[in-house]
Amino acid sequence: MEKKKKQSWFRRNLTNILLVTVTVAALAKAVDWNGLINDLSAQKQELIEQRDSEVSKSDSLQSELDKLHDLSWENIDYWIDTLGIDHPEIVKQQIALETGMLTSTICKENSNLFGMKEPRVRETTALGTKRGHAYYESYVDSIKDYKLWQDNMYGGGDYYAFLRRVGYAEARHYIAALKNI
C-alpha cells in the first residue's frame, strides 16, 4: 500500500517536477556564467583602481601638507595668514630680526621664530624651555603660540607702540631695528 501511495504521489506531481526541471535547465542555459564572472572581475578591478587612485591622491595631499611644515618664508607667510596674525608685515620683521633671517640656533634647535620665553600663565604650544627660550615641536607651533600671545596681550592700535609698551624685547633699539628691516 505504501508503494502505491508513493507512485500515486509521483504521478500526480510528475508534471510539476518536469516543469520545474525544464525551467531550471532553461534558466541555467540562459545565464551566461562566464560573462557574469567576467563582469564581476572587471568591476572588482575597477574598484581596486579607484582605491589605488584615492590612496595616491591621499599620499600626494599628505606630501603637500608636509611641505607646509618646511621652514621657508613662503610657508611662514601661509601660516601667518591662515592663523590670522595681526600686523603680519611687522611680525615677519620680528621673525627676521629674532632668527637672523631663519639661521639662529634658537630658531633651528627650538623651532622658535620669535625668541619667545616659555609663558608661566597663559595658554601655550611650547613644550618646555631649552637654551633659555621656549621650544616647539615645529615652527608652525611657534607661530600658533605667537597668535595666542597676541590674542592675550594686544588690544589694537599702533603695533610698534604696543611692542614697546609690553617690553617685547630686551634690546633698547628693538623697534628701530624692526623698522629698518
Radius of gyration of the chain (CA): 37
- Residue 43, pLDDT above cutoff 80: no
Q: Return the percentage of the chain with pLDDT > 90, whole number.
A: 59
Close Cβ partners of 171 (under 8 Å, ≥ 6 residues apart)? 177
DSSP class of residue 117 equals P
What are the residue boundaries of the structural domains of the chain, listed by start?
A: 2-67, 73-179
CATH (residue range 73-179): 1.10.530.10
CB 152 within 8 A of CB 122: yes
C-alpha cell at 145: 603660540
pLDDT tens-digit readout, 127-173? 999 999 999 999 999 999 999 999 999 999 999 999 999 999 888 89
pLDDT at residue 63, rounded to an integer: 67
To the nearest 10 degrees (0 to 180), the angle between helices 73-83 and 139-153 is 40
- Which H or E run contains 128? strand 128-130
Report the mean per-residue pLDDT for the chain. Answer: 85
Phi, psi of 99 (to 5 degrees): -105, 0
- CA gap 46, 59 in Å, rounded: 20
